[in-house]
């Protein structure tokens, strides 16, 4: 890791300076409620807003306790009288009159019918870009620029909605984004990368330069998958199917993951070997501000690959 003598001002800067890899940082819960809420009301807690009623706040917290991730999201054109909600992986959209939000949240918590608010399937792609500046200043400085670029690029792709989002995890990788329903997480989204990212997503492929990982996989599987895609891509193939067929650990320092892959015209198997690695990092800008120093992060690094 390279951390200079001068303490950086932003955790995202420190992460880049340390050459911290994106791969393997794509974790995200699978069950999600995405709830529109004006960004001016957001608090530091990713699922809470200062203008929620006490009952609404409690119901949202109860959903989180039940295992459903709740993220607040914002768009300039969102309705003033309705709350838009998406359930993932259900891919369902709901429009909820503001005064009925408590009833909706209670019904969701209790597993009762939500038909009264249902307005159809969710868009083909819902892209959340973290702009949660009250949580971390990197998400304001870099996240807003990333959101604007993604929002502009999305005009070329019908079926794609881009929203500002509360905390998605990995502030040090700002600008960060999560694509639903595919559960692919991204980081370090520079404005010039917004359009190619969405182009890849519309082809149902991850955009490797910014790809943190498939949230349905474990961290080591994410790292191996990204390495496999890079290796296969270097041979001129873009796999439409890529599956883990075997996984084996060799103590705490080495592991192997085997993949089978397929395109319309080719197929093969690939074995990725991995070695344990560690990095020192600041998780958030608040760690820098508190002068607590960087912490160790254990991860994995692809060391070799071979056809299997």
The domain ranges of the chain are: 11-27+125-307, 32-121
Q: Topology of 32-121 in CATH? A: Glutaredoxin (3.40.30)
Q: How many residues does the chain have?
A: 308
Residue 7's pLDDT is: 66
Q: Is the predicted pLDDT of residue 213 greater than 70, yes or no? A: yes
- Give the Cα separation of 134 and 251 in Å (integer): 42
Residue 98's pLDDT is: 97
Coil, strand, or helix at residue 248?
strand
Q: Which of 166, 306, 301, 178 is nearest to 231 (CA)?
A: 306
* DSSP per residue, 85-150: EEEETTTEEEEEEGGGHHHHHHHHHHT---GGGEEEEPPSEEEEEE--TTT-HHHHHTHHHHHHHH
To the nearest whole number, what is the mean pLDDT of the chain? 94
Q: What percent of the chain is predicted at pLDDT more than 90? A: 86
127-136, 218-227, 256-265, 281-290, range with the lowest pLDDT: 281-290
- Give the Cα separation of 224 and 307 in Å (integer): 14
pTM above 0.85, yes or no: yes
Q: Once rounded to an integer, what is the mean pLDDT over residues 256-267?
A: 95
Q: Give whole-number Cα distances, 178 to 54, 170, 211, 269, in Å.
A: 29, 11, 10, 29
Residue 2's pLDDT is: 44
Q: Which residues pair with 184 in a beta bridge?
A: 179, 214
Under 8 Å CB-to-CB from 195, ≥6 apart: which residues?
149, 153, 156
Task: Tell which CATH classification among 3.40.30.10, 3.40.50.300, 3.40.50.150, 3.40.47.10 matches the domain 11-27+125-307.
Answer: 3.40.30.10
Residue 279's pLDDT is: 85
Q: Is the predicted pLDDT of residue 276 greater than 70, yes or no? A: yes
Domains 11-27+125-307 and 32-121 share a fold: yes
Strand bridging mode 32-36 / 254-262: unpaired
Q: Is the predicted pLDDT of residue 1 greater than 50, yes or no? A: no
Which tokens sit at 39? 């960004």
Q: Kindly report, residue by residue over 180-209, the tens digit of the pLDDT.
A: 999 999 999 999 999 999 999 999 999 999
- Burial (0-12, 13-18, 19+ Cβ within 10 Å), 229: buried
More confident residue, 126 or 264: 126
């Amino acid at each position: 890791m390279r951390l200079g003598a001068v303490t950086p001002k932003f955790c995202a800067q420190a992460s880049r300076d340390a050459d911290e890899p994106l791969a393997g940082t794509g974790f995200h819960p699978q069950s999600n409620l995405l709830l529109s809420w004006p960004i001016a009301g957001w608090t530091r807690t990713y699922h809470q807003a200062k203008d929620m009623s006490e009952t609404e706040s409690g119901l949202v917290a109860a959903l989180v306790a039940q295992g459903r991730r709740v993220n607040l999201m914002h768009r300039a054109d969102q309705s003033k009288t309705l709350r838009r909600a998406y359930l993932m992986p259900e891919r369902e959209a709901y429009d909820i009159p503001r005064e009925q939000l408590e009833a909706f949240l209670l019904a969701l918590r209790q597993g009762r019918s939500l038909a009264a608010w249902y307005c159809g399937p969710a868009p083909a792609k819902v892209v959340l870009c973290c702009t949660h500046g009250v949580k971390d200043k990197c998400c304001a400085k870099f996240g807003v620029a990333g959101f604007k670029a993604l929002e502009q690029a999305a005009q070329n792709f019908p079926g794609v909605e881009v929203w500002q989002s509360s905390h998605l995890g990995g502030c040090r990788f700002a600008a960060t984004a999560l694509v639903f329903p595919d559960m692919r997480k991204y980081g370090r989204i520079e404005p010039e990368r917004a359009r190619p990212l969405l182009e890849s997503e519309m082809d149902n492929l991850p955009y490797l330069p910014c790809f943190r990982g498939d949230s349905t996989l474990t961290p080591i599987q994410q790292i191996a998958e990204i390495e496999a895609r890079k290796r296969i891509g270097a041979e001129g193939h873009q796999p439409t199917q890529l599956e883990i067929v075997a996984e084996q650990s060799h103590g705490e320092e080495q592991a192997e993951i085997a993949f089978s892959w397929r395109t319309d015209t080719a197929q093969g198997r690939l074995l990725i070997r991995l070695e344990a690695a560690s990095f020192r990092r600041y998780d958030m800008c608040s760690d820098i501000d508190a002068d607590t120093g960087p912490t160790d992060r254990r991860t994995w690094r692809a060391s070799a690959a071979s056809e299997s």
